[in-house]
Structure 1
């Protein structure tokens, strides 16, 4: 998978090139024989060690299993020690041998991956400090190597492309990921997001060992990060362009089928997306975690289609098999059952009320913090603790908004009209019960979601009316304070579509500056920043990079 350096002897250039070529052919094989092949060389080759540790880390990140995290951490630590043996011994000389340059880039990669595992493994402050130091040291190494690449004295070796690809991957990853996390103050990242994208695009365009990783990171950015944390557009054209060569060469590759499904989902082609995700599950059985990723997306595809029973089925599968967030899965199961009749619920052997009451008991922490989605689900489920609870008006449709799902259904009129009909039914139900302390909260939620549907259907004046309705009731909202900044955000995006740029910026700045400490605040802020970035003419769907003090 990666080219090799032996700790026992230095490979000749011709042998090294032969090794690189053979490893490139094996690049995407993650079956047991390949893992055994890697494991046999992890003690004497830094690239074998790094690759094997990376695969174990992928598994740990997908399972959140403590044993997997511990195994990956120990293996990555050993890989780092092997890289250390090949690093430059003296700090007095500014020149690097080719082997030392590769050792440096591998060492930086090990540091960054060990930091990620540190944040997952322990919740105490010492672990966070240690992880932060690793992140910063990794960043400094990549920064130094980028300087070496730009220096006039740097000479290109036979394996220059692979070294340069590693630097582009690291620099690009830091620029993208630091805009999504709180690490930016630790890393003191000085590159702009656009530069990070450029580095990854250049890295993906070359046939190097890390071009695949550059491609995967770009695909994640276009199909997840910029979609969920941006204005919901994503760069589908770029994602398709990146994916097609891999999908053509590896038509049964699980990861490629997964991204193909995700692209179809973003485009609103739900039947095609479902077919791709099902293909992904059938393609391999060794890594069940890929199945879980597909189950999550399938759950949302059936939510968009209002097939509540099928959505419940995949939420149930996740609840049984995956450990990411049991509370979120229980909440989604309850949400889907709440949309069915009592008779329909009998076939599932559990009720929405029982599940909603379970949600707070399933709370967990990852990297020392509760997941924002989980905290949101717990807050919403608390109303069911009462002896005679007031039901949520349309819980799947609300969580759909949290994950930016209305931009998916908005691409198809029939899906949007179907969701609006469900909201009208929820409104009629709300109007039929006596007023209570939560009536304004529920009314404002329905107004926000109806406004979104109407906006996508082209009824802009009606949509604006519903967004304004949320703002008019701001002082009477009891718990769901997140609705107000989100209504301002959606109103601002509507103004932006109509060409009312100054008004849009004013609404977005109000949402950004005037509201704090509400549910899903970070996610809303990312969306506001993306909208401002777009309004000020800095890009179509990028996420704004905060300034560094």
Structure 2
């Protein structure tokens, strides 16, 4: 299969995949996957997606073995360099025109396969050696993208279509790398310093946007998926919900035109409505995504997760519990999380009969038994859930606002805050709880933990209502109880960061920096610490952007990312 046919066949398979014909796409790639680079990449990618969605170790092992073969296939098409050749290369300027088009495309296919292999390494094994191996593969992958960037700007192209496919691949790789690494807070970056590079958020966004404009290229739709996922999902899970929703909507339009029944694009359409606070419209889109295909039920789990939160935001706790139950039954990701969510939602239901209470007690008691270890570590949220279930038993079958606490730690208030019709009922429940706590103070073993949580939630609601002074007073009062709080130690650093958000909104930049620095230095070892570090990092990025608004940087050449790899040193993507 020559290069043009290889790209054409893979493009057809990608369209089948995005139109929900997953098995047909897989079967189209498999016969050529041991002979041709693009089918090898395509087949490996499909098995990779299947593995990460099922989280089944058999699927993961199958994907790893397939991608190993894909790496070997792509490597066969790469330019072979001897030791003397490598030495001469360092002494003379490389002429990329000497490389054939097959050799050039082999480089970028090899990099993508290597990246998939590295990502699977992290979830397959539990030891440090596997982590180091994965990191080294990512480093090699990065260096290949750096070289491909030079090829793109230096080579004289004879086939415009081949150049387009190659360029979209470079833009996707450079963009995704920069964006992914720019999101990592300092604590995590220290673990990855041996990889040797950092990320530039604006460069990453720019390159992916340019890649999105190449919809006729093989990787154009994939650039769209990465960018829309960043703006609608990643910024809400890891940061402050500051994604560009209007841009995401514009990027998604041609995708929905080309793939009107594509389950993934319908999911993102639902997600856009959800983060706008249009919950009923979001529910409709998620249900449409589910109805669009039944071949890969793993896609349904993405929608079940979002439908669960949509019904939470509406205060429909019973329906939210039903979706958590379906996830617990069908998904392999974290049964401890799903079980805790089921119990937390049930505690919010109006029906608190003896039967319901007994079922809630049973669910909470099951959570510790379901805790798992991945890559040698327990999931942070599972540890949090286990601690809460132990509290439930110790406090005579009582937890304070566990469902609203879940919404907070999963950053849901950034969505609820878009619509007062969603936020005000939550605030009413919180204020009623605060009154009950004050009236029955002697009945609570961990009064200040429970009261502190209610204060934190009230402050967050007031923040989204624009009542910044009153919100700040809630956080100040919570922090004053620091020595009385026994278990929920996470409340204090989280309250500090909420205060930093208020300072940022009031353009008190120095105070914002001071609070963030104090929080990072003064508080360690609390639940959900990594989540807060992501939020701190997101606030710092916003702070840097706000400070630069009045002092624009020196003008630099625009139009492409061509100089970006060279500007930051040998191993810096910036």
Deviations 1:441-479 (A, max 9, x none): 111111010011112223222211101111111122111
Cα distance in 2 between the residues matched to 1:247 and 1:38: 24
State the partner residue of 1:543: none
CA contact (8 A) 2:7 2:38 kept: no
Closer/same/farther in 2, CA of residues 131 and 376 from structure 1, 3 Å limit: same
Over 3 Å counting, the alpha-carbon distance change for 1:21 and 1:122 in structure 2 is closer
Distance 2:430 2:517 in 1: 29
**1:53 corresponds to 2:44:** yes
In the TM superposition, 1:312-331 aligns within 5 A as 312-331=321-340
Kept in 2, the 8 Å contact 1:299–1:315? The answer is yes
In structure 1, the residue matched to 2:109 is 106
> 2:448 matched to which residue of 1?
440
Q: Is residue 200–residue 214 contact of structure 1 (8 Å, CA) maintained in 2?
A: yes
Contact 1:454 1:460 survives alignment (8 Å): yes
**Equivalents in 2 of 1:306, 1:22: separation in Å?**
44
Cα deviation, 1:269-318, whole Å, max 9, x if unaligned, reads 10001111111111100111111110100111111111010000000000
Question: Is the aligned partner of 1:142 residue 2:149?
Answer: no
Aligned pairs for 1:399-414 (under 5 A) are 399-414=406-421
CA displacement 1:305-348 (0-9 Å, x = unmatched): 110100000000000000111110010001011112555674x7
Establish whether residue 502 from structure 1 lines up as the match of residue 510 from structure 2.
yes
Per the alignment, residue 453 of structure 1 pairs with: 461
Flag the 1:106–1:21 CA change in 2: closer, same or farther, 3 A: closer
**Separation of aligned partners in 1, 2:245 and 2:197:** 27
Tell me, in whole angstroms, the C-alpha distance in 1 between the residues paired with 2:50 and 2:7.
30
Matched, 1:175 2:154: no
Which residue of 26, 29, 32 maps to 1:38? 29
Once the two structures are superposed, residues 79-104 of structure 1 have per-residue CA deviations (whole angstroms, 9 ceiling, x without a partner) of: 11111110101242644211111111
Of the three residues 327, 330, 338, the one matched with 2:347 is 338
Distance 1:130 1:323 in 2: 26
State how 1:137-536 maps to structure 2 within 5 Å.
137-151=140-154, 153-155=155-157, 157-158=159-160, 159-181=162-184, 182=188, 184-206=192-214, 207-341=216-350, 343=352, 346=355, 351-386=359-394, 389=396, 391-431=398-438, 432-434=440-442, 436-536=444-544
SS at match of 1:189: coil
Q: Structure 1 residues 539 and 231 mapped into 2: Cα distance closer, same or farther (>3 Å)?
A: farther
Following TM superposition, by how much is the alpha carbon of 1:155 offset from its aligned partner in structure 2, in angstroms? 3.8
Q: Distance in 1 between matches of 2:397 and 2:16?
A: 58
Q: Distance in 1 between matches of 2:120 and 2:469?
A: 49
Q: C-alpha displacement at 1:242, in angstroms?
A: 0.9
Partners of 2:13 and 2:25 within 8 A in 1: no
Aligned counterpart, 2:553: none
Distance in 1 between residues matched to 2:222 and 2:430, nearest whole Å? 42
State the partner residue of 2:551: none
Alpha carbon RMSD of aligned pairs, Å?
A: 2.6
SS in 2 for 1:476: coil
Size of the alignment, in residue pairs?
A: 532
Task: Write the distance in 1 (CA, Å) between the matches of 2:48 and 2:231.
Answer: 23
How far residue 521 of structure 1 moved from its aligned partner, in angstroms, is 1.3
Q: Which whole-Å deviations, capped at 9, do the CAs of 1:182-233 have from their partners, x for residues lacking one?
A: 4642332244121112221111211311111111111111112222222223
CA distance in 2, matches of 1:17, 1:468: 60
CA distance in structure 2 between the partners assigned to 1:536 and 1:21 by the alignment: 41
Q: CA shift at 1:140, angstroms?
A: 1.5
Which secondary structure does the structure 2 equivalent of 1:536 belong to?
A: helix
Greater mean alpha carbon deviation, residues 357-366 or residues 312-321: 357-366
Moved more, 31-40 or 66-75: 31-40
Query: 2-side partners of 1:102 and 1:539: how far apart?
Result: 42
Deviation at 1:19? Answer: 5.8
Which deviates further from its counterpart, 299-308 or 363-372?
A: 363-372
| Structure 2 CA distance for partners of 1:310 and 1:147, relative to 1, 3 Å | same
Structure 2 CA distance for aligned equivalents of residues 197 and 333 of structure 1: 37
Tell me which of 85, 91, 96 is aligned to 2:99: 96
Question: Quick one: distance in 2 between partners of 1:286 and 1:21?
Answer: 20
Structure 1 regions of 5+ residues with no counterpart?
1-5, 541-546
Distance in structure 1 (CA, Å) of the matches to 2:426 and 2:347: 16
Q: Which residue matches 1:128?
A: 131
- Residue equivalent to 2:68: 77
* Offset of residue 67 of structure 1: 1.1
Aligned residues of 1:174 and 1:189 also touching (Cα < 8 A): no
Q: Distance in 1 between matches of 2:29 and 2:7?
A: 18
Q: Is the 8 A contact 1:42 1:52 kept in 2?
A: yes
- Cα distance in 2 for partners of 1:382, 1:176 equals 39
- Deviation of the 1:377 alpha carbon: 1.3
Contact 2:168 2:218 in 1 (8 A): yes
Please state how far the C-alpha of 1:180 moved relative to its aligned partner: 4.1
| 1:53/1:75 contact within 8 Å kept | yes
Deviation at residue 514 of structure 1 after TM alignment: 2.3
Confirm or deny: 8 A CA contact 1:533 1:539 kept in the other structure: no
**Shift of residue 41 of structure 1?**
1.6
* Higher RCO structure (Cα 8 Å, ≥6 apart): 2
8 Å contact kept, 1:357–1:384: no
Q: 1:21 offset after TM fit, Å?
A: 7.4
